Structure 1
Amino acid sequence: MTHFDTEDDNQSSQVPSGQTSSFKPRGVTRGLTTTTIAKASSTGKLSVTFNAECRQPICTNAEKFNNEIGFIIRNHGTFHYKEWRMVPEDVRAPLRHYLLEHFDINLNDETTKKCIDEQMKKAWKGHKYKLHLYFKEIGGENDLEMAKSKRHPDLKEEHQEDWIILCERWCSPEFKERALKNTTNRSKRKLESKNGSVSTP
């Protein structure tokens, strides 16, 4: 799950004069709650039920499951591929296996694998979008070499090569041309989606 900072995150909460606030802004979801609950269960793992048609979890542990996927993608994912469908199986498989630490799932079941990949795709695209926003905020479109040296704080040192590949792609004429075309097409839409981040199913 992606956490968006607000202006108030960097400000102290308002309290009466002479008193200090113990308020701490909420950070990025790290799966700590999932770890605690899983350890407290009889099997040590949380059960998950999937909907094959919608390709998503439909159970009380669904939110925890999706949060854990987001955590895995951010910390262990590879982002230099153009699209998620281009990420090879030998890269996806280890990501799915991280889930076995806290969840009782069968990775040999095709429905389970498809549902996991669908949620990982959403998390991967969301995080890559966040990286692109950061790239533009630091002026990467105007200074490529500077952007390469200022890796996003969420990316570990071993992801430096990924970051460099992304920066070069975002500055390429092909990417800029496609981005402009997509922006123009979106501006012509007469009806906007009302779903927001929640899927209709």
Structure 2
Amino acid sequence: MIITYYAYVDQPASDPPKRRGPSLNLSATKTLDNLPAGAKISLTLSTDTKGFIGNSATQFATECGIIIRNYCPMNFHTWDSIPNDVKNMLYEQLQGRFNLLRSDRVFMEHVNARIHAQWKRTRGTLSEYWKRNGGKTNPQLARSKMKPNCRSQEDWNHLCDYWELEKTRKYNDQMEANRGKQVITSRGGSRSISNHKFHLPGWAA
């Protein structure tokens, strides 16, 4: 009779999958590295839809998200209520990498629209995190678990105060119900319609 002995070796536990860290907009960094000293990335408006197009449009959207997360206070709960001096500060941060035509009213309207969109997205991401951590059923627990990339504890407290309001809760419940009725959902991703059009084969702005 042959007896075979097997040696069992404890296998090290596999590391949990790494979570994606905050974007550093490395694409914009590489673009700047290839430009002459002191030059900034230019933004191009489409001639028909007037949306920003090209690779710089994607880089700009990413930069707007970074600027909002790092510099925009969250104690204002509508975009129109944010003071002009705060918005000007956001523009100045963006001008570190991008050539903003501050004297061009139409151009700056689209800059403002892009920053506004990223502001809404950032708040939406923070709100979803609050809900996943018990915001609706245990708000004190959710308050104690600030999202890691929230700008400050003060911002998080302001947001929690706002989300805990009965008026806000009713509004959010209604919006969730409305979204649940949607038959057709957008599949366009983060690119604007004008930028999708720009990237179609054979199309030129």
State the TM bucket, normalised to the shorter chain: 0.7 to 0.9
- Residue 7 of structure 2 is matched in structure 1 by none
Q: Is the 8 A contact 1:50 1:57 kept in 2?
A: yes
Matches within 5 A, 1:157-196: 159-189=152-182, 191-196=183-188
- Residue 139 of structure 2 is matched in structure 1 by 144
Q: Within the alignment, does 1:50 sit opposite 2:45 as a pair?
A: yes
Deviations, residues 147-179 of structure 1 (Å, cap 9, x unaligned): 3332210023xx322211211221211112122
Q: Structure 1 vs Structure 2: percent identity of aligned residues?
A: 28
CA–CA distance in 1 between the matches of 2:104 and 2:184?
37
- Residue 83 of structure 1 is matched in structure 2 by 78
Moved more, 83-92 or 47-56: 47-56
Secondary structure of 1:134's partner? helix
Q: Is the 8 A contact 2:134 2:142 kept in 1?
A: yes
Following superposition, which runs of at least 4 residues in structure 1 exceed 4 angstroms of deviation?
52-55
Q: CA deviation at 1:93?
A: 0.8
* Amino acid in the other structure paired with 1:171: E
Secondary structure of 2:193's partner? coil
Q: Within the alignment, does 1:35 sit opposite 2:29 as a pair?
A: yes
Q: Is the 8 A contact 2:43 2:99 kept in 1?
A: yes
Q: Is the 8 A contact 1:52 1:111 kept in 2?
A: no
Deviations, residues 78-111 of structure 1 (Å, cap 9, x unaligned): 2232222222211111101112111222222212
TM-score, normalising length from structure 1? 0.76
Q: CA deviation at 1:142?
A: 2.6
Structure 2 residues not aligned, in runs of 5+: 1-14, 195-205
Secondary structure of 2:55's partner? coil
- Residue 67 of structure 1 is matched in structure 2 by 62
Number of aligned residues:
178
Q: CA deviation at 1:76?
A: 1.0
Q: Is the 8 A contact 1:131 1:152 kept in 2?
A: yes
Moved more, 51-60 or 142-151: 51-60
Q: Is the 8 A contact 2:74 2:158 kept in 1?
A: no
Q: Residues 179 and 109 (structure 1 numbering): CA distance in 2 closer, same or farther, change over 3 Å?
A: same
Structure 1 residues not aligned, in runs of 5+: 1-8, 12-23
Q: Is the 8 A contact 1:56 1:118 kept in 2?
A: no
Q: Is the 8 A contact 1:76 1:95 kept in 2?
A: yes
Q: Is the 8 A contact 1:80 1:166 kept in 2?
A: yes
* Amino acid in the other structure paired with 1:147: A
Q: CA deviation at 1:53?
A: 6.7
CA RMSD of aligned residues (A): 2.4
Q: Is the 8 A contact 2:143 2:160 kept in 1?
A: yes
CA–CA distance in 2 between the matches of 1:35 and 1:178?
40
Q: Within the alignment, does 1:118 sit opposite 2:113 as a pair?
A: yes
